[in-house]
Amino acid sequence: MGSDAVARAPAGGAAGAALRVPAALVRHDTLIDRELSLLDFNRRVLALAVRPDVPVLERLRYLAIVAGNLDEFFEIRVAGLRGALRSNVPPPGMSLHEARVQYARVGEAAHALVAEQYHVLNASVLPALRERGIRLKRNEDRTPAERAFVDAYFEREVRPLLTPIGLDPAQPFPPIASKTLNFVVELSGRDAFGRDTSIAIVKAPRVLPRVIRLPAEVAGDGTTFVLLSSAIHAHLADLFPGREIVGYSQFRVTRDADLWIDEEEVKNLRQALAGELRARQFGAPLRLEVAAGCPEHLVHLLATQFELTAQEVYRCDGPVNLRRLASLIDQVDGDEHKWPPFVPGRPARLAGAPDILAAIRQHDVLLHHPYESFDPVVDFIRQAADDPDVVAVKQTVYRIGESSALMEALIAAARRGKEVTVVVELLARFDEEANINWSERLEREGAQVVYGVFGLKTHAKLALLLRRERDAGGGTRLVPYAHLGTGNYHPRTTRLYSDFGLLTADPEICADVNEVFLHVTSLARPSRLKRLLLAPFTMHRRIVEMIRREARHAREGRAARIVAKMNGLVEEQVIRALYAASEAGVSIDLVVRGACALRPGVPGMSANIRVRSILGRFLEHHRVWMFENGGQRDVWLASADWMGRNLFRRIEVAFPVRDPQLGERVVDEGLRIYLEDDCDAWTLHADGSWTRATPAPGARRHSAQMQLLERLREHAGDG
């Protein structure tokens, strides 16, 4: 295939509102600030919430997704910055002054994003919902019948669970867990004991739903909801009989959620982690959210209590936790206002193949999720559990969720006496509890559970089974089969995230997969791998080498092209290698979903580099690399982004797609189609701003996700 086999992005139609990042916000001339880039990513997600071509309930979902992303941004990214400032130890590569400036700029950008969130909610999403008969009503907007229902609900379900806390010297400010809904109330007069106690705290019960649907006989036509916070607001006075409420506000505090485990002190990681999970709810405060109308003296009281500055207080023109609005979506009857459902397809190479191992023996099988079903991967492990000739199963687990057919299959294999080894990453952020529970169940059934390498998250997505088979001479030998993927073995994300998976019996790849398992479980240095790249050992060096190889090809007049897709690009050595390749004449197209520190299109530095981001129905998650290599094209799939954490602080694997037909599929479905997208694509400019691409007037729109969905999903009547 020639170097022009991957089409470039369309040149025309760069329109739409630009997301501008002032030049002052660029950390220095060559790199864009990672934290500001992450916030810009969330602005691109938020843009989906105002697109008229997106179903209205999905617009609400994107709004909730941004809120959840912001929670994690504060819990992890802002927590790191603030912790560095508190300890007077700046992040690597920064002075303390630069860290302070960065923290202030991140705060400014976060405030702007939060204001934009609530504007989208109030000016766009809620009106669009009302037009379709879906109403979220405040107390003053409710009919008498609706108020009566809320009154009864409050008395029956809410009031018995509330415990207002009046503050006095005997009762100091109560502990407030991270991201919980609370109310601060200012009261007039004296309490029952004749004292001037004017402040009370009311915690909203965690066990109650935050979004309550009113019965049809109460709400009439359409679908009507009220928020728990609104129901409590309407009845705050009932909690303090004999006293007048002078002022009040809902509030929410976000705390540092990063876990810290001392390698020298810990004896049992699982036990230590369980203790840290309990403490996570009460980490250092980072952000205080209050209602937009909260009286200033109450804001000051809360900020002082949590030791936060005025810049760390966020006023919210609506509910303080927009993430909880996502629960409204599933309470609306029907799918009319959601993305239309679809049935994932099945790869042609598995058509009519009840024995999945027999099919893999014939040829490698490529899976493209969510357009193609994840069921073959589950069948792969289930067959291992059921097949008496399979003697061993090994698998890595990063994110798996609370319910997993795949994990149940591993447990079944252990029960049947197979040698089952599972590498569980206990420190998979916000999935720690589920992973602990699965590891305990696996151990009870006799599986060997390993927690990887302390200090290095095991992020590789690998499964291996060994089957005893007869050879040509009539004897037996152990034959390996493997699954390698770019995404997690998680039942929910396989329906929402774009990822590639490869089922293979390639002896060299399978041997390398087994070496990776031996390395992680034994902690011995890995043997030299023939096909795979392994972080933190060889991956970074090989990526830089392959980029430099393209530069040599360009200087020598041979075909030179790099096209790569990933979630994040911030590793400085890789970026500098890309800059050098651009100057050597290499044509470089990058599809980066989230944070991107590379500045494209700068004359004399990155003039030949183009960067785009795709945001649509599905979360873009696969990592695909294509190096033209003088016409001998190399195609790679990986679990790793081009970020320092992936390349130096995690166990990650990249694997080649050796089957030419499947390699062409990966290039077509994972790269080319995304470079042609003019519907869900955004283009990054040299000044750090993003603009949404649009088709030329009269031209047909190209959405990569919609085209893949049409091409790969199961079609009725297709047989």
Interval 464-483: pLDDT, tens: 999 999 887 778 899 999 99
Q: Please give the C-alpha separations between residue 321 and each of 115, 201, 254, 296, 466, in angstroms, as whole numbers.
A: 14, 18, 11, 21, 48
151 in Cβ contact with 226 (< 8 Å): no
469 and 568 in a single domain? The answer is: no
Q: End of a domain among 485, 507, 530?
A: 530
Mean of pLDDT values over 428-437: 73
Mean of pLDDT values over 298-307: 96
Lowest-pLDDT choice from 398-407, 411-420, 517-526, 534-543: 398-407
Strand ranges inside 351-496, DSSP E: 365-369, 390-397, 419-424, 448-450, 457-458, 461-470, 476-485
Mean of pLDDT values over 254-259: 82
> Smallest Cα–Cα separation from 407: which of 358, 444, 452?
444
Q: Is position 40 within any domain?
A: no
- pLDDT tens-digit map of 109-118: 999 999 999 9
Q: Is position 300 within any domain?
A: yes
- pLDDT tens-digit map of 20-40: 333 333 444 799 999 999 999
What is the number of domains present in the chain? 3
546 and 683 in a single domain? The answer is: yes
For residues 439 and 576, the model is more confident at 576
Instruction: For the chain, give the longest Cα–Cα distance.
Output: 97
Residue 2 has pLDDT above 90, yes or no: no
| Look-up of token digits 């007069």 | 189
The domain containing residue 539 runs over which residues?
535-712
- pLDDT bracket for residue 434 (50, 70, 90): confident
517 and 549 in a single domain? The answer is: no
Mean of pLDDT values over 334-346: 93
Read off the CATH number of the domain in which 491 is found. 3.30.870.10
381 and 313 in a single domain? The answer is: no
Lowest-pLDDT choice from 164-173, 234-243, 549-558, 581-590: 164-173
551 in Cβ contact with 630 (< 8 Å): no
What would the two tokens of residue 469 be? 């088979």
Per-residue model confidence (pLDDT) at position 699: 77
Q: End of a domain among 296, 324, 352?
A: 324
563 and 708 in a single domain? The answer is: yes
Q: Is position 196 within any domain?
A: yes
Lowest-pLDDT choice from 164-173, 300-309, 534-543: 164-173
484 and 447 in a single domain? The answer is: yes
295 and 402 in a single domain? The answer is: no
What CA–CA distance (Å, rounded) separates 634 from 625?
Answer: 8
Q: Is position 104 within any domain?
A: no
Mean of pLDDT values over 564-592: 97
**Are β-strands 223-227 and 134-136 bridged in parallel, bridged antiparallel, or unpaired?**
parallel
Q: Is position 471 within any domain?
A: yes
168 and 269 in a single domain? The answer is: yes
Residue 259 has pLDDT above 60, yes or no: no
Mean of pLDDT values over 398-425: 90
Read off the CATH number of the domain in which 161 is found. 3.30.1840.10
184 in Cβ contact with 302 (< 8 Å): yes
560 and 685 in a single domain? The answer is: yes
308 and 207 in a single domain? The answer is: yes
What CA–CA distance (Å, rounded) separates 713 from 341?
Answer: 11
Q: End of a domain among 473, 506, 530?
A: 530
- Mean pLDDT of the chain, nearest integer: 89
What CA–CA distance (Å, rounded) separates 510 from 522?
Answer: 18
Q: What is the Cα 669 distance to its own chain's centre?
A: 22
297 as an active site residue: the answer is no
Per-residue model confidence (pLDDT) at position 67: 96
**In b/e form, how buried is each residue of 358-367, taking b as 16+ CB within 10 angstroms?**
ebbeeebbbb
664 and 645 in a single domain? The answer is: yes
Q: Is position 117 within any domain?
A: no
Share of the chain above pLDDT 90, in %: 73
191 and 255 in a single domain? The answer is: yes
DSSP 484-502: EESS-S-TTGGGTEEEEEE
687 in Cβ contact with 8 (< 8 Å): no
Q: Is position 479 within any domain?
A: yes
Q: Is position 169 within any domain?
A: yes
Lowest-pLDDT choice from 11-15, 302-306, 396-400: 11-15
Q: What is the helix (H) or strand (E) element at residue 383, kind and residue range?
A: helix 375-386
Task: Given the residues 368, 459, 490, 685, select the one marked as catalytic.
Answer: 459
Residue 8 has pLDDT above 60, yes or no: no
Per-residue model confidence (pLDDT) at position 20: 38
Q: What is the helix (H) or strand (E) element at residue 71, kind and residue range?
A: helix 56-72
